Amino acid sequence: MYSIISFKAQPDGLITEINWCYTNNQGSIRSKLTLPNPGSLDSIIPLSNVLPENLIDFVRTSIDGSQEVLDIKISDFATAQEYQNSLLTYVIDEDGSFVNL
């Protein structure tokens, strides 16, 4: 599921940045999409006409990666985190013995 965290816009309504999040049952990914300045004033959307659904649709079509790609990234991160959490830390004493913390 995509959601919009926040966005920045110029006073004239030109959106310059969208902070978004994608969440599935394993976790989430947050990122920022920076928009280029448009070539014409026709692409400026008045802030009163901006809807979260439109921003989500824009993010979906603009980001590099589909929902499946984001699901894989989240899964890979969760797997790596599980591995890191399974590692044990040992301390070596002055006499050369070691203990698990």
At 38 the pLDDT is: 63
Given the structure tokens 């079509």, which residue do they identify?
61
Q: What is the mean pLDDT of residues 16-22?
A: 92
How far the first Cα of the chain sits from its last, in Å, is 39
At 51 the pLDDT is: 86
At 87 the pLDDT is: 94
Q: Is residue 15 over pLDDT 70? A: yes
The DSSP 8-state label assigned to residue 76 in this structure reads H
In 3D, which of 55, 51, 13 has the Cα closest to residue 32?
Answer: 55
- Please give the residue range of the domain that contains residue 55: 2-100
What's the number of domains the chain is made of? 1
- Phi and psi at residue 57, to the nearest 5°: -60, -40
Q: Where residue 9 falls among pLDDT bands split at 50, 70, 90?
A: confident
Q: Is residue 89 over pLDDT 90? A: yes
At 6 the pLDDT is: 95
Q: What are the tens digits of pLDDT across the range 27-71?
A: 999 999 888 776 556 556 677 778 889 889 888 888 877 888 899
